[in-house]
Amino acid sequence: MTEHTHDLDLIAEFASGEPSDDARRLVEACAECRAEFQLQQEIRNLLASLPAVTLTNEESETLHRSLSPLGGAKVISITERRRAQLWLRVGSVAAGIFVVAGLGTVVASQLGGGAAGGDTAFEALSSPTTTAASDFTTAAAAAELAPAGEESDHGLRQLAGGDESAVRAEMENMLNSYSSSAGATTTGDGAPGADLEQRCSDQLPAGTIVDRAESFLDSKPILIYLVDDSGDVSAVVLDAATCSTIDL
């Protein structure tokens, strides 16, 4: 009795769903080959039954946030994202910050969102126009708007800070300084603030950063941004380490 020389190549071919006539004949004629084929099919079916895997919303956010430097903060829907997430507090008592910049009323805005992703994966990709973890420009522009004070390591105006009331007072000063400065400095090339490097920019509301400073809230370093959105100026406080919004 001739023993089959089982051609596993043919069985593999059959098991992969593309059987030649030779493979088909082999499997039909050889019981052990059929068993091998059936085992292959069972494992294949088992693998196919594994549940689909998707990113969670938080993971997706982290992914997009970490990759936003590639696309440029202005283009990768930073404005759209912030508008979708922007919560307006009109006449907020908690923030206690309001100013009239020509026409509008400031609203204190709070942005939701998870923890900011790190930039470490993309430091090598950072260009001067993209956000890096600790890269600020136009200190001169900031100084032009700023009252006297020391510059931080990042070239920003360094405020004293303190508790919540102290930080609110500093924010009010910033807003008042902004509103009392030339009115035509909100947008446009060359305008102070227009080309400021946007640290933690994806946590900011839509608009133009017109002032920023570093400060401390209960000994924790924070960033204070003024953002002018077509005359509506808001002040935003961010944790300097995580870029998460701090709701005063």
Partner 1 sequence: MTPAIDDATLLAQVAAGDHSSFAILMQRHQDRVFSVCLRLMGSRHSALDATQETFTTLFRKADQYQGTAAVSTWLYRITVNTCYDLLRKERRRPTEAMPDYLDPADPMGDNPFTSADLRPDIERALGTLSPDFRAVVVLSDIEGYSLPDVAEALELPVGTVKSRLFRARRQLASVLGNHYPDSRHQSNIDQ
Give least dist CB 44 to partner 1, A: 5
Give the closest residue to 178 by CA, choosing from 105, 233, 222, 110.
233
Least Å distance, CB 198 to partner 1, is 15
208 has which bridge partners? 228
The backbone torsions φ and ψ at residue 192, rounded to the nearest 5 degrees and listed phi first, read -55, 130
Q: The tokens of 65 are what?
A: 């946030």
Element (H, E) at 185: none
151, 157 Cβ separation under 8 angstroms: yes
Nearest to 167 by CA among 95, 105, 233: 95
Nearer CB in complex with partner 1: 56/219: 56
The DSSP output letter for 147 is: P
Rounded to the nearest whole angstrom, what is the least distance from the CB of residue 119 to partner 1 in the complex? 11
The conformation of residue 117, written as its DSSP 8-state character, comes to: P
Rank residues 95 and 243 by Cβ distance to partner 1 and give the closer one.
Answer: 243
In the complex, the smallest distance separating the C-beta of residue 86 from partner 1, rounded to whole angstroms, is 19
- Residues binding partner 1 (CB under 8 A): 5-9, 11-13, 15-18, 32-33, 35-36, 39-40, 42-55, 59-60, 62-64, 66-67, 70-72, 75-77, 121-122, 125
Q: Specify the residue, 185 or 203, whose C-beta has the smaller distance to partner 1.
A: 203
> Which is closer to partner 1, CB of 17 or CB of 190?
17
CA distance 51 to 4: 39
- Give the three-state DSSP class for 72: coil
What is the 8-class DSSP label of residue 137?
-
Q: Which is nearer to partner 1, 11 or 222 (CB)?
A: 11
Q: Give least dist CB 206 to partner 1, A.
A: 16
Nearest residue (CB) to partner 1, 13 versus 239: 13
Among residues 244, 236, 204, which one has the least CA distance to residue 107? 236
In angstroms, what is the minimal distance from the CB of 23 to partner 1?
Answer: 11
Distance, in Å, from the CA atom of 68 to the CA atom of 81, rounded to the nearest integer, reads: 12
